[in-house]
Amino acid sequence: MPKPKVAFYWNASCGGCEEAVVDLAEDILKVADAVDFVLWPVAMDFKKKDVEALDDGEIAVSFINGAVRTSEQEEWARLLRRKSGLVVAFGSCAHLGGIPGLANFSDRQGVFDAAYGYLPTVDNPKNVRPQTKTKMPEGELELPEFYDTVYALDQVVDVDYYVPGCAPPADLILEAVTAILEGNLPEKGAVLSPPKSLCDECARNETKPDKIEIENLKRPHETFMDPEKCFLAEGVICMGPATRSGCGERCINANMPCRGCFGPTDEVRDQGAKFLSALASIIDIDDEDQMDRLLDSLPDPAGLFYMYSLPVSMLRRKAADKAK
């Protein structure tokens, strides 16, 4: 029987997902033995036309990490979708939009005006912006188009499964790959991680009071965080109630609160809204002035509650300019 063909590709990402796979070391070599990699730019030579030459559906599974921000990335996502039986969104950026998705608080012009305009070290008297085509004396140079909006993978192509995390932990990667290769598949659209919330699994549950009641919020740098106690009970924002488990509580073990990279659980449509409602239920304030002070003490709730999930949230992005 021929080995199943597997592709691994990156879009707008940092390389951390690639490193996570590489960190599997010996384990990944076993996987590599069982499959035929047809595309893995980090490790292998390939060309787009090599993928184009495959039959539609010939690749058993494509793992795609990174958000979609440029025309080139969208083309790749569409090509791999067409050629693949299964597409897996790998890591927070493909799954939710991820940290680069925070750029949806702005747009292309905002990004360009900062990077090539007003930042203090920019030297650009002619106000040059990168162009998709530039005529040079020797010939024309091309760059891919930079989109106004950052998209999660499933906003561009149909996605079969999701491996969450920034970056996904080794055990989840191995379980996901094994399940797929053995055809031991859950329902389409499943996130391949336990369905419980992080709070349900958190080691700090033991010290958590039955009912959390807080009167003020503290930002992580404003307080000494007790390495045993529930962050929320101490008034420190922790995304645990609105975040799926399976990460191994890596941040919490370093005594830092969760920021939500695994995205919401299955029942939740919008991670930020879910967190807001969880937060509202533990705030124990009757006085309006005190409430105002509490809200003032958290100046960027949207950026915090949607740190990884803005593109797939109900907010999605800042309102588009109607002229565009």
Partner 1 sequence: MTKRITIDPITRLEGHGKIEIFLDDKGDVANAYFQVPELRGFEKFSEGRMCEEMPRITPKICGVCPTAHHMAATKTLDDLYRVTPPRTAVLIRRLIYNAFMFEDHALHFYFLGGPDFVVGPDAPASERNVLGVIAKVGLENGGQVIDIRKRVRNIITTLGGRVIHPVCGLPGGVSRGLTEENLEEFRKTARDAVDFAQFSLQLLEDVVLKNETYVGLITGDIYRHETYYAGLVDDDDRVDFYDGDVRVVDPSGKEFVKFAPREYTEHIAEHVEPWSYVKFPYLKAVGWKGFVDGPKSGVFRVAPLARLNASEAMATPLAQAAREKMYSTLGGRPAHNTLAYHWARLVELDQAAEAMVELLDDPDIMGDDIRTLPTEIPTEGVGIVEAPRGTLIHHYTTDERGVITQANLIVATVNNAPGICMSIERAARGLIKGGNVSEGLLNMVEMAFRAYDPCFACATHSLPGQMPLVVEVKDPDGEVIERMSQFVGT
Tell me how far, at minimum, the Cβ of 111 lies from partner 1, in Å.
4
Selected from 54, 225, 282, 285, the binder of partner 1 by CB under 8 A is 225
Selected from 35, 174, 212, 256, the binder of partner 1 by CB under 8 A is 256
The footprint of partner 1 on residues 172-211 (CB under 8 A) is none
262: tokens are 């695994």
Handedness of CA 42, 43, 45, 46 (dihedral sign): negative
Tell me how far, at minimum, the Cβ of 48 lies from partner 1, in Å.
9
The footprint of partner 1 on residues 13-52 (CB under 8 A) is 13-20, 22-23, 25, 41-47
Q: Which is nearer to partner 1, 72 or 175 (CB)?
A: 72
- Nearest alpha carbon to residue 154 among 72, 70, 94, 101: 94
Q: Which is nearer to partner 1, 85 or 259 (CB)?
A: 259
With CB under 8 A as the rule, give the number of residues binding partner 1.
79
Tell me how far, at minimum, the Cβ of 223 lies from partner 1, in Å.
7
Q: Is 224 in the site for partner 1 (CB under 8 A)?
A: yes
3-state secondary structure of 99: helix
Residue spans of alpha helices (H) in 164-260: 170-181, 198-201, 250-253
CA dihedral 324, 115, 151, 276 (to 10 degrees): -100
Q: Which is nearer to partner 1, 39 or 176 (CB)?
A: 39
Tell me how far, at minimum, the Cβ of 192 lies from partner 1, in Å.
19
Handedness of CA 20, 25, 26, 29 (dihedral sign): positive
Pairing of strands 133-136, 68-70: unpaired
Selected from 3, 205, 220, 266, the binder of partner 1 by CB under 8 A is 220
Q: How crowded is residue 96: how many other Cβ atoms within 10 Å of its Cβ?
A: 31
Pairing of strands 5-10, 36-39: parallel
Q: Which is nearer to partner 1, 66 or 241 (CB)?
A: 66
Q: Which is nearer to partner 1, 46 or 190 (CB)?
A: 46
Tell me how far, at minimum, the Cβ of 159 lies from partner 1, in Å.
21
Tell me how far, at minimum, the Cβ of 33 lies from partner 1, in Å.
11
Selected from 69, 274, 316, 317, the binder of partner 1 by CB under 8 A is 69
Read off φ and ψ for residue 306, nearest 5 degrees.
Answer: -115, 30
Tell me how far, at minimum, the Cβ of 117 lies from partner 1, in Å.
9
CA angle 156, 244, 240 (to 5 degrees): 125
Q: How many CA atoms lie within 13 A of 109 on its CB side?
A: 4
The footprint of partner 1 on residues 93-152 (CB under 8 A) is 98-100, 102-103, 105-106, 110-111, 113-116, 118-124, 128-131, 134, 136-139, 141, 143-144, 146
Quick check: bond before 167 cis, omega within 30?
A: yes
Kindly write out the interface string for residues 288-307 of this chain, putting x where it contacts partner 1 by CB under 8 A and - elsewhere: --------x--xx--xx--x
**Binding window for partner 1 (CB under 8 A); candidates: 155-163, 197-205, 220-228, 285-293:** 220-228
Cα–Cα distance list, 198 to 93, 152, 154, 262 (Å): 19, 22, 24, 9
Pairing of strands 146-151, 68-70: antiparallel
